Structure 1
Amino acid sequence: MKKVILSALAVMTFAFYSCEVEPLDTNNINSVDGKGKVKNKEPEAETNCDISLIPDLPSLVNACTTGKGINANGTFFDLTVSDTDLAGDYGAWCVDIDLDMEENECFEASVYSSYGDFPSFYFENPDNFDLVNWIVNQDFVKKESNIGGDFTFGDVQWAIWELIDDNNCQTCDDLGDDWNEDRGQEIVDAALASGEGYEPGPGEVLAIILIPNNFRQTLIIPIPLDCEPESECETAFAFSGDQEDCFINNGFNRWGWSIGPLAEGSNETYEIYAGAGKCDLGKGDLVGTVDVSYIGGDVNVTYNIDGAYSIEETHTYAGNAMFPTDKKGKATVAPGQYAIQENLSGEIYVIAHAVVCD
């Protein structure tokens, strides 16, 4: 249950490569230092859904490699995650040329989004993960290269190392016999030309970083970005229990209720309804309750919103009149005019308004 507490003091609180170690010859390596200056990604068409590039992820997973290099299925590793919401089989890519990992090796790893707050000191060029995300979303393997032949997993792996590491493989034994450096460079060039600032969208995949806790090879795996409906928000009011207190019955054009009159010492709980147009409860949804206390001249209001909803904003009125007034002294029910008056005495009225989203 989410709570928002308001008082007369107007204080609000919310609770609610092989990847094997090998000697490196740096004299003949043309590595990418940071990001290239390239064009921005074309804007995507608007979609009716929300996605997050920093989704809720488990902090740790247990995983095992089940294939590597030519024994894997079109990526550098076949990988199985055995626990958490990420449990399943993945095609994985190697990130650090200086570290090792073998086929049929199991490990525990910390999990990070490549767009989130990950320990960047593990990588020579961490700013290039947008380019890597672009690559893994192009499905290069088995597509035709402009220089001839089809792209292989080895071409893709070489390109990832070229972008993220400060050196690349020398013997490159685990990239297969049919990998080609020129095709790998073609992928790098394409990423530099089209992947700057890239963010995957609905139906694409997000590169997740796995950093083993035993100092073995760092990997990336792709997870799908499912398109979820955008949150829908509704205005909500606490219901007095008496439809005669509906704004409409008191000369206003909008729905909602005033609660009262409340005597000194009152301490009551009222239901909150969202989307109840014309004060018709049958059209609305019960989204929580509000606790209202009026003791010693102080008014305290606590919104208790069901966990299925989020609170975007609240507005609360408390005063001796049934409705607040605007700057011209005219009665109003516009939530932006609500305030909890100070030094109240005698009977009072309360209006509790919220915007809630599912």
Structure 2
Amino acid sequence: MSITLHNIQKSFGPFRALRDIHLEIEGGELVALLGPSGCGKTTLLRIIAGLETPDAGQVLFHGEDATDRHVRERQVGFVFQHYALFRHMTVFENIAFGLRVRPRASRPAEAEIRERVHRLLQLVQLDWLADRYPPQLSGGQRQRIALARALAVEPKVLLLDEPFGALDAKVRKDLRRWLRRLHDELHVTSVFVTHDQEEALEVADRVVVLNAGRIEQIGTPEAVYDHPATPFVYEFLGDVNLFHGRVHDGHASLGGARIRLDDGPPQLERAAFYARPHEIDILREAPDADGIAATVQDIRPLGATVRVELERRDGQGIVEVELARDRLRHLELRRGEAVFLKPCRLRVFGEREATRH
């Protein structure tokens, strides 16, 4: 089931939650709506579900206008952050609930309901918990049961609102890998909301980055991370260092350093340069002023890598660099040492564009 959102607008009083949203979701695709709190991602999900009505614009399901369709007519399954399971019902009855409340004409026979529920319990790998009650389950188990309940009605579209937000970090990691495998097996068109960048990049086929009610960028996880379209996307998707300077003759002028650019405008008087911590190297010497003078402030091991915090010697702030342990051993860095920073990659934006975000 494909989904098309055309010129969606939504306000709550004076607050504009969504502005000119255009989005195409292909059938069988898993799409993440990613952004900070208040950016409009949950409102957009609820509009797709039919739980909210847009002030303007259209929602199309498989090319047909569904904007005014009731939520019951949209064939949508919804998974909430806090499970929304019925505490007084067993796991089996929770999953069967959506089938049992159907009108008699469309309600499956009891034998079919039991067979479908047991099949879903096997799918989510919890068939041994059919007679338990939700308070007897762990958070991860409850979320899988909530997903099975959403799938029981055989939805054409599956919507998930911060599905792992209430879980601890390890359980979240395990569940999102499980969700990706489950989606690859079922191929149900799925849209999930998250503010967790790592979650979106790991699970989704495509990521939609929202900010202040607008779409900043749409693309594969690799595209939005490696080629951010705006300063906001750059800053939101992981750690980043920001430098200010100008572009002259294809080089970035940053204080006393002059660094060659692989792309970007040939001339720009006021520019903002972005580099992720792993895109900067540390040098003992910088020939031809090809480096930014800095002093080592702190060295912190982070598993397989090391995070080095440095202070620029021109007084322009702190820079964070991520090195492999072998590289750190080769450099033999010590706190207080004078070194040079060499960005291996700089992304350039105009100063005005960077300030706007």
TM-score by length of 2: 0.23
Instruction: Give 1 or 2: higher helix fraction.
Output: 2
* Higher CA-based Rg: 1
Does 1 or 2 have the higher relative contact order (CA < 8 Å, sep 6+)? 1
TM-score by length of 1: 0.23
